[in-house]
Amino acid sequence: MSSYDSSDESQHEKMDRREFIKRTAIGAGSMALSVSLVGCMAGKGMNGNAATNAVNETLPLKYKDYNLVFVSFDALQAAHVGSLGYSRNVTPTIDAIAKDGFNFTNAISTASWTVPASMTWFTGVYPSEHRLTNKFAVFNPPSNNILSNLKKLSPNLVTLAEILKQNGYATGGFTGNAGVNGFFGYDQGFDTYFYEKGKFGSMGVSIPKALDWLKENKNKKFFMFLHGYDIHGQGIPEGGFDYRFVEPGYDKRYTGSKEEQEALREEGLEKGRTTLRDEDVRFWRAIYDEKIQRTDAKFKKFLDELEKMGLMDRTIFVLTSDHGTEFHEHKRFDHGFSLYDELIHVPLIIKLPKRTDGKIIRDQVSSIDVMPTILDLLDVNVQEKTRKQLRGTSLSPAFKGQSAAKDVFSETDYRLYTFKRSIQTREGWKFIYTMESKTGELYNLKSDPGETKNLVDVERKIAYELEHKLFAHFKSIGHDLNARRWETGLNPVYDSQAKPAQKK
Amino acid sequence: MFRHFTNNSSIVITTLFLGVLGLLSGTGLCSPLESAKPTPRHESTNVILISLQCLRADHLGVYGYKRNISDNIDALAKQSAVFDDAISQANLTPVAQMSVLTSKYPRVNGMVSFEVAKDMVTSRTLPEILKYYGYTTAATISSPEFFMRFDTESGALINPGDVFSRSFDYYGRTARGPQGTSIRVAPTDAFQWLKGNKDKKFFLWIGSGLLHMPYSAEVPQPYQTMFDAPGYVPFWKRLPGLDEDVSWGDNPEYDIFSRVYRNDFYWGFKPIYHLNEDDLKYVNGRYDAGVYYTDLYVGELLKLLDDLELKEKTLIVLQSMHGDDLGEHGIFFHYDVTEPVIKNALIMRFPNGEFGGRRVSEQVQGLDVMPTILNYLDIPVPHDAQGKSVIPLVRGDKDATGSEYVFIDRMPWWEYTLSKWYLELQNASGAKFSPVESAKLKEYRDLLQTSFDKLGYPPGDIAVRTGEWKLILRMNRDILEKVSWWRFITGTLQPVEELELYDLKNDPGEYINVAHKHPNIVAQLKSKLLDWNSRVEGQKAVYKKSDKRYIIPYP
């Protein structure tokens, strides 16, 4: 422990190094480019600080009656975002907003897949508490299947949309269905909630729907949730790929289809690893980049429309993702089944209206903090009971230059295939515990950002104390992890998986 | 995060200290893993755990025994916190003690019988956790239960590294004593170890099996016979014809007393002798001679700690692993969950005289030992610990409580060990049976082997104890009657009650089963007990199929 100095300065210095390692490890870009990017970012942070802090501290940071646009780019891995250090220019629109807004470079999601992770934004509680941890609350084929639903699982929880609606907001959700479909209760509190049944829908569809709604509601104060699966493995661009980033000479073992994506994920689950060559991994990242770039462009058009409607100066933007995705970093593919950095480290950008004095915030924060931050910024009435519901804390001190760094917790019960819980400390330790096998993993994120060296049998005291903290955390939120048995099973997430199970 | 208990004045100082630190650091954001607390105790406190097998609390002066045989332990107790109602989790040595070392019920940690595989228990143990915190760990042991194993296939005696020796840097096993009959000697190698390691931060576990039957077998003269009545001749030497069947040898008490049921000595399925007052006095005298000699050993140990200047930086916990029946119910050994068997001595001497003279009357249990030691050392208690720290009780916290209900597993002893080992191999090497009994042995062994499942966890006898009541539930009463050792040696079925309720306040000797008189208490305690039982079943340890098992030999 003594090797970790917890003073702010050294932490920033070391975080830069961690990010640097991460960027070079991702490795599509050249070393030189990565270095210069780090230089840029550090420069911005440092030069900007003194001047902007003074302004920030005098501002009240209250935006009563402003609009809120909350955007989830589903499955956007932090490492592929330019404003988080990615070298390939695939997110110019997002990066521009990040430059003017508050760019949280160490935001960790509470879960590694859509259903549990997204509901945390809207309830301010951990997945264990909102209980939307799998598609089916009861999966009992062929006929006794009960879809998970927030109102049924956790009737007392109040959603962000409900609070804003009570405070006079028009509320509209425009989504890609699947993990955030209305049946799960994602529509709770929304006047309008769009999702195309049976689809992993695109922003190509949800954006026009959102804009139509805006035309009707732009004169009211509004809360919009915009979401799409364009970047996700199940999202395919309209008209197909143009393979713009695929290296010439790739032997086309894969084409980038969603069926291939699903097969790779299932292979990883079944065998513990996927068999991908380095060129295949580069191919899949190239495909991913094409999707990201196309999505970023769609998002730019959306912003242009808002600009035309004159809404930009009255609207707070929150841009984020529910989880990342894995490209063989830990020898598997897709997401949900682990809690490694590639799955839970997400972009989080908060852009405040009429301000371009944003900054990079390196403090480690959690998606659990998003809802309290929004409520704080919008300065709405929140009942005491609802306030007590919130497990996170407002990040607005970070806007004023104060520390918001905290230990963060994540979890996944992905399809009952596995049950994992993790804690990631401010100092850069990460401990992952797998409930069904009662095994722990410990990583030093500063020296090993890729989480490749499990130190659980080396740093035993640290592992022991983090295990203690992890269990104490879940106990404190009413989930004694020792109070039940963790039996793995099969809980489908896609229809294609449910059908064979139902036949049995 | 972890309660650092101390006296009031240092709490004030601590608070001031933390306050100043908070001001200095501005944000107060210290690392949670290295927060600015006073130096945690685990940085400089040694721990010695003295575990005495078969030590009855009521045979020590500190617990009111009239015969003066425990001067040193009594003196230690005066400087210590003393627990008046400390209960063990089981009647069998390795089972009860693994609950102490893991703070888990036997079925949860997996140590449920005399059959042990190397990796059978995966729960964290006290020495394992202390090693995380830089402790040098050592054990010096004279109970074969903790190191001796018997290969049921080859018949060989082996010493595998196993569940008890895991996480010990040094694991000392005693050899046969000067009398040559038993390894159950005073584990004096602890003294050498202490002298050689006094400058290290250490955890030393001393496990003594000296008090086990045959009583005082390895106690040297003049102590061995110090309480023998002049002229007394043991009854088995007086019985005509007995020696014609077998030759009893020098120290037959293990075999002799395992044949005593309701104070009748059985031979050839017949009660051929009823033990009288003098016989019981003799057994108690030999037992007490063992206590006396053990007390001398403890005195030596304490003196050595003084000489090595370790007293003020060493926490001493002295405990009985379990007690022994000495004929009060007409039986011997630790066959059942009677009060003499499960009620323990528990004495904790804290450094610097802290809590010296405290008596704790609340019920506590074996599961509490590990959490207490860790709590004192400012080390987090494992999240899955099933006991709790008794420090709040010792400190006299207003809201501190003991364990209102203590749950106990009874493990069959002879029935189990006989089925696996004793009847086949110990018999070949000299266990004593009459000719009529020998003819029935194979049948009995087959019965035992078909009655217990492969993992050796027997049909459950379970008990719940409060400060006032004890309820024993024999869930498979008919199987017990069928396989009972008592049935075998007496040749007739001995009825087993399904439910026994004892009023411990008015009938501390447990002579009258009052289950019929108090149906409400039975119902309430039974429901607690069954709740616990199903909870524990749900947390039962899962064994790897490949684990080769070895049995602990007897005696």
Do B29 and A425 lie within an 8 Å CB cutoff?
no
Q: Supply the ipTM of this predicted assembly.
A: 0.86
Q: Per-domain residue ranges for chain B?
A: 43-220+295-403, 410-551
Contacts A407 to B, Cβ<8 Å = 32
- Please calculate the CA angle B222-B223-B226 and round it to the nearest 5 degrees: 90
Nearest to B380 among A1, A429, A468 (CB): A468
Of A2, A407, A467, the CB nearest to B32: A407
For residue A481, the chain B residues in CB contact (below 8 A) are 383
A443, A449, A450, A456 alpha-carbon torsion, rounded to 10°: -10
The answer to whether B380 contacts A427, with C-beta atoms less than 8 Å apart, is no
Q: Which residues of A336-353 are buried (b: 16+ CB within 10 A; e: fewer)?
A: bbbbbbbbbbbbbbbbbe
Please name the residue of chain A whose CA is at the shortest distance from the CA of residue B31. A6
Which residues of B fall below an 8 Å CB-CB distance to A? 27, 29-34, 122, 129, 131-133, 380, 382-384, 538-539
Strands B406-410 and B461-465: antiparallel
* Phi/psi at A2 (5° precision): -65, -20
Kindly tell me the burial class for residue B69, based on how many C-beta atoms sit within 10 Å of its own C-beta (0-12, 13-18, 19 or more): buried
* 8 Å CB contact between A306 and A288: no
What does the H/E/C string look like for B31-43? CCCCCCCCCCHHH
CA dist., res. A133 & res. A10, Å (int):
38
Percent of chain B having pLDDT more than 90?
65
Contact B383 A467 (CB under 8 A): yes
Kindly tell me the number of DSSP H helices and DSSP E strands found in chain A: 16, 16
A465 touches chain B (CB under 8 A): yes
User: Averaged over A252-257, what is the pLDDT?
Assistant: 96
Q: Which of B55-69, B138-152, B387-401 has the lowest mean pLDDT?
A: B138-152
Question: Residue B452 pLDDT > 70, yes or no?
Answer: yes
CA distances from B183 to A393, B21, B290, B320, B501 (A): 63, 56, 14, 19, 38
Whether residue A459 lies inside any domain: the answer is: no
In a domain, A237, yes or no: yes
DSSP state for residue B286 in the 8-state scheme: H
Task: Write the DSSP assignment of B134-187 as a string of letters.
Answer: T-EEEEEE--GGGT-EE-TTT--EE----TTTTT-SEEEE----TTSS-S----
Top pLDDT among A22 and A461 is at: A461
For residue A332, give the CATH number of its domain.
Answer: 3.40.720.10
Q: Which CATH class is domain B43-220+295-403?
A: alpha beta
pLDDT-based confidence at residue B430 (cuts at 50, 70, 90): low
Where in B221-306 does DSSP place strands (E)? 260-261, 264-267, 270-274
Instruction: Kindly tell me if the per-residue pLDDT of A173 is higher than 90.
Output: yes
Hey, of B2, B27, B31, which one would you mutate to test binding to chain A, going by the most A CBs within 10 A of its CB? B31
pLDDT of residue B480: 87
Highest mean pLDDT among B135-139, B255-259, B473-477: B135-139
pLDDT band at B349 (very low <50, low <70, confident <90, very high): very high
Mean pLDDT of A156-184: 97
Does residue A135 register a pLDDT over 50? Answer: yes
Q: Per the structure, how many domains does chain A have?
A: 1
User: If DSSP codes are grouped into helix, strand and coil, which group holds residue B219?
Assistant: coil
Range of the domain at A347: 8-59+66-406
Asked if B131 lies within 8 A of A405 by C-beta distance, the reply is no
How remote is the C-alpha of B202 from its chain's centroid?
23
Q: Which residue of A has its CA nearest to B379?
A: A465
What's the pLDDT tens digit per position in A353-404? Answer: 999 888 999 999 999 999 999 999 999 999 999 999 999 999 999 998 999 9
Beta carbons of B85 and B339 less than 8 angstroms apart: no
State yes or no: cis peptide before B214, omega within 30 of 0.
yes
Nearest CA in chain A to B538: A485
- For residue B451, the model assigns a pLDDT of 81
In our burial notation (b when 16+ CB lie closer than 10 A, e otherwise), range A393-419 reads bbbbebbeeeebbbbbbbbbbbbbbbb
- Say if A34 falls within a structural domain: yes
C-alpha dihedral sign at A371, A377, A379, A380: negative
For residue B263, what pLDDT is reported? 97
Q: Which residues pair with B73 in a beta bridge?
A: none
Nearest to B383 among A4, A462, A471 (CB): A471
CB contact under 8 A, B380 and A465: yes
- pLDDT category, B419, cuts 50, 70, 90? low
Predicted confidence (pLDDT) per residue in B276-300, tens digit: 999 999 999 999 999 999 999 999 9
Burial A131-146 (b: 16+ CB within 10 A, else e): bbbbbbbebebeeebe
**Residue pair B235/B265 in contact by the 8 Å Cβ criterion:** yes
Identify all chain A residues contacting B383, using CB atoms and an 8 Å cutoff.
467-468, 471-472, 475, 481-482
Q: What architecture is the B410-551 domain classified under in CATH? A: 2-Layer Sandwich (3.30)
* A19 pLDDT higher than 60: no
Interface contact B132-A460, CB threshold 8 A: yes
Closest residue in B to A461 (Cα) is B132
For residue A405, the chain B residues in CB contact (below 8 A) are 29
In a domain, A420, yes or no: no
Q: How far apart are CA B277 and CA A165, in angstroms?
A: 87
Residues of A in contact with B534 (CB under 8 A): none
Query: Cβ atoms within 10 A of the Cβ of A503, count?
Result: 8
Do A1 and B33 make contact, defined as CB atoms within 8 angstroms?
yes
Structure-block tokens of residue A261? 């994506």
How far apart are the CA of A119 and the nearest CA of chain B, in angstroms?
Answer: 28
Residues A426, B29: C-beta atoms closer than 8 Å: yes
